[in-house]
Amino acid sequence: MAILSLAFKSLLNRRFTASLILLSIALSVSLLLGVERLRVESRNSFANTISGTDLVVGARSGAINLLLYSVFRIGDATNNISWSSYRSIADHPKVAWTIPLSLGDSHMGFRVLGTNRDYFLHYRYSSKRRLSFHAGGPFEQVYQTVLGYEAAKALNYRIGQRIVIAHGTGKTSFTLHEDKPFEVVGILNPTGTPVDRTVHVPLEGIEAIHQGWIAGRQLAGLQISAEQALERDLTPKALTAFLVGLKSKLATFQVQREINDYRKEPLLAILPGVALQQLWDLMSVAENALLVVTALVVTIGLVGMLTVMLAGLNERRREMAILRSVGARPRHILLLVTGESLLLSLVGIAIGLLLLYGGLLVAQPYVESHFGLYLPITLPAPREWFMLGLVGTSGLLIGLIPGYRAYRYSLADGMNIRI
C-alpha cells in the first residue's frame, strides 16, 4: 500500500502527462465495452422479437430474407402468398393457430402491418410474453388501427386521432390514402421489438384502401369512397407471410416439409430459431472484425502509456537515484513504476466505465426510437468483467517494461546526471 501511495503521489506530480494517458485508456475501454454491449444487445433484441412461433411461411426465397421482412420489418418480400393457399395451410389438422401478415404500406416512416385479432392473442416475444395495451384495445372495425409504443410516442398520437396511410414503405411518400383515414383505438406497451415501431391495421383495412388500385396506382375515374369500400368483399386476395403455431412440436418438421412441397404455389416454411442462427453466422465475420478493431484501439492506448512512461524514465533518473539514496531497494523502484502503470490502468478503466454509462444514458432514447435497439444500463456482464480484467492485467504487465529499466539504473548513474 505504501508503494501505491507513493505511486499515486508521483502521478500527481506529473498530472498533465498522467491525464493524457488516463484519457487514452478511458476512451479505448469505453469503446471496447460499448461495442461489446451493442453486439450482445443486438443479438438479444433479435432473439426476443419472436417467441413461441413454430414456423414462418412466405413466398419461396431465402430463409434469412423471409425472416427479416416478416418478423423484423427489414426489406421487402419477393412475392406474395395467395389467400387460398393461406387458408389451406391454416386449416391443416396439425395447425393450432396462424397470424396473417400483409406488408407494403407505411405511415410517417413506420411500417404498416395488416393482420387480424389473432395477432394480439397469439403473438409472443421475449420468452413467450404476450402483447399488452398501454391504452385502448385491439381494433374491431375496418378503419381502426393499433400503434406500437415507439410509433405513438414519436408521432405524439393519442387514442381517437385519425391517421392517413401512405402507399409504399419509404419514409417520404407522395401517394396517400387520404380518402380512407384510420382511427387510433389502441397503443401497445413497449416490447423492445419491431412491434413498437409498427402501425397495425385489419387485413380488411388494407383491402379497403386499395380498392380501385392496380399495380400500385389508383385508376382515374375509379375512386371508391370509404363507405363504398365497406360494401364490397374485403377478403384479402394475397398475404406477404404468416406465422404458424402447431398443436404439437413433434409435427414441426412434417408440416414444414409439406409446406415446402406445396404444389399450388412455391412456398417456404422456416424455423425462426434456425434462420436466426443463420443470420448470426452471416454477421459473425463483421462482429469479429469490429471486436478486433476495438481491441487494437485498446492496445494502442496501452502502448501509448508504455511509450510515455519509457520516454519519461530518463527525466526521472535523478528521482530514482534520490529514492535509492534514502534506502529504496531496486525492487522498490520496480514496484513503484509498475504500481504507477497499474494505477493508470485501473483509474482509466473506472473513467471508461463512467463514460460508457454516461453515453448509454444519453444515447439510449435515441437508439431505441430510431433503431429499435434497447441498451439497458446494467452492471457489466461476466464477459465484460473479463475484458476489463484483461485490460488491467495488460496494464500491469506493460508496467514491468519501464519498471525493469528503472530497476537497472544504478545509484551512481543517477547521481552523475547533470541538470
Same domain, 100 and 175: yes
Mean pLDDT across 65-86: 90
The residues near 265 (Cβ < 8 Å, ≥ 6 apart) are: 59, 81, 82, 85
Q: Cα–Cα distance between 138 and 131 in angstroms, integer?
A: 11
Q: Does residue 362 surpass a pLDDT of 90?
A: no
Same domain, 227 and 81: yes
The pLDDT value recorded for residue 144 is 95
Concatenating the DSSP letter of every residue in 343-405 gives: HHHHHHHHHHHHHHHHHHHHHHHHHHHHH-------PPPHHHHHHHHHHHHHHHHHHHHHHHH
Same domain, 239 and 370: no
- Which of 83-97, 275-289, 303-317: highest mean pLDDT? 83-97
Same domain, 222 and 288: no
Q: Which domain holds residue 96?
A: 55-270
Q: Does residue 24 surpass a pLDDT of 50?
A: yes
How many structural domains comprise the chain?
A: 2
The residues near 104 (Cβ < 8 Å, ≥ 6 apart) are: 76, 112, 167, 168, 169, 240
Same domain, 38 and 59: no
Final residue in a domain of this structure, among 248, 270, 292: 270
The pLDDT value recorded for residue 119 is 96
Q: What residue spans of 99-240 are helical by DSSP H?
A: 118-122, 149-155, 203-209, 226-230
Q: Is the residue at 82 inside a domain?
A: yes
Mean pLDDT across 218-238: 78
Same domain, 81 and 173: yes
Same domain, 344 and 238: no
Same domain, 73 and 187: yes
Range in 61-75, 172-186, 244-258 with the lowest mean pLDDT: 172-186
Q: How many residues does the chain have?
A: 419
C-alpha cell at 207: 383491402
The pLDDT value recorded for residue 329 is 72
- Specify whether the CB–CB gap between 146 and 186 falls below 8 A: yes
The pLDDT value recorded for residue 170 is 59
Concatenating the DSSP letter of every residue in 256-278 gives: HHHHHT-SSS-EEEE-HHHHHHH
Q: Does residue 215 surpass a pLDDT of 60?
A: no
Long-range contact list for 7-11, CB < 8 A, 24+ apart? 7/336, 7/337, 7/339, 7/340, 7/342, 7/343, 8/343, 10/319, 10/336, 10/340, 11/340, 11/343, 11/344
Beta bridge partners of 113: 200
CA distances from residue 26 to 39, 45, 184, 319 in whole angstroms, order as listed = 20, 28, 47, 28
The pLDDT value recorded for residue 8 is 67
Confidence of residue 217 (pLDDT cuts 50, 70, 90): low
Confidence of residue 19 (pLDDT cuts 50, 70, 90): confident
- Which of 316-330, 362-376, 391-405: highest mean pLDDT? 391-405
Q: Is the residue at 278 inside a domain?
A: no
More confident residue, 8 or 252: 252
Q: Is the residue at 277 inside a domain?
A: no
Same domain, 327 and 250: no
Mean pLDDT across 116-144: 92
Q: Cα–Cα distance between 56 and 54 in angstroms, integer?
A: 7
Q: Is the residue at 129 inside a domain?
A: yes
Mean pLDDT across 344-360: 91
The pLDDT value recorded for residue 138 is 95
Q: Does residue 93 surpass a pLDDT of 90?
A: yes
Q: Is the residue at 275 inside a domain?
A: no
Confidence of residue 7 (pLDDT cuts 50, 70, 90): low
Q: Does residue 371 surpass a pLDDT of 60?
A: yes
Q: Does residue 57 surpass a pLDDT of 90?
A: yes
- Specify whether the CB–CB gap between 69 and 111 falls below 8 A: no
The pLDDT value recorded for residue 132 is 93
Mean pLDDT across 272-285: 84
Mean pLDDT across 290-301: 84
Mean pLDDT across 150-157: 91
Final residue in a domain of this structure, among 270, 294, 322: 270
More confident residue, 143 or 293: 143
Final residue in a domain of this structure, among 237, 270, 303: 270
The pLDDT value recorded for residue 334 is 74
The pLDDT value recorded for residue 53 is 92
The pLDDT value recorded for residue 81 is 94
The pLDDT value recorded for residue 419 is 44
Confidence of residue 307 (pLDDT cuts 50, 70, 90): confident
Q: Does residue 56 surpass a pLDDT of 70?
A: yes
Give the residue from 151, 241, 247, 142 showing the smallest Cα distance to 193: 151
Q: What are phi and psi of 105, to 5 degrees?
A: -120, 170
Give the pairing of strands 110-115 and 95-107: antiparallel
The pLDDT mean for the chain works out to 84
Q: What are phi and psi of 112, to 5 degrees?
A: -100, 130
Q: Does residue 258 surpass a pLDDT of 80?
A: yes
The DSSP code for 249 is G
Q: Does residue 235 surpass a pLDDT of 80?
A: yes
Q: Is the residue at 181 inside a domain?
A: yes
Q: Is the residue at 256 inside a domain?
A: yes
The residues near 203 (Cβ < 8 Å, ≥ 6 apart) are: 100, 102, 114, 115, 116, 234, 236, 239
Q: What are phi and psi of 65, to 5 degrees?
A: -60, -45
First to last CA, the chain: 32
Q: Is the residue at 7 inside a domain?
A: yes
Same domain, 80 and 175: yes
190-214 tens-digit pLDDT: 888 889 999 999 999 999 888 766 6
Q: How many CB atoms lie within 10 A of CB 261?
A: 9
What does R_g of the chain's alpha carbons equal in angstroms? 31
Same domain, 201 and 250: yes
Helix (H) or strand (E) holding 32: helix 15-48
Same domain, 234 and 307: no
The pLDDT value recorded for residue 413 is 54
The pLDDT value recorded for residue 214 is 63
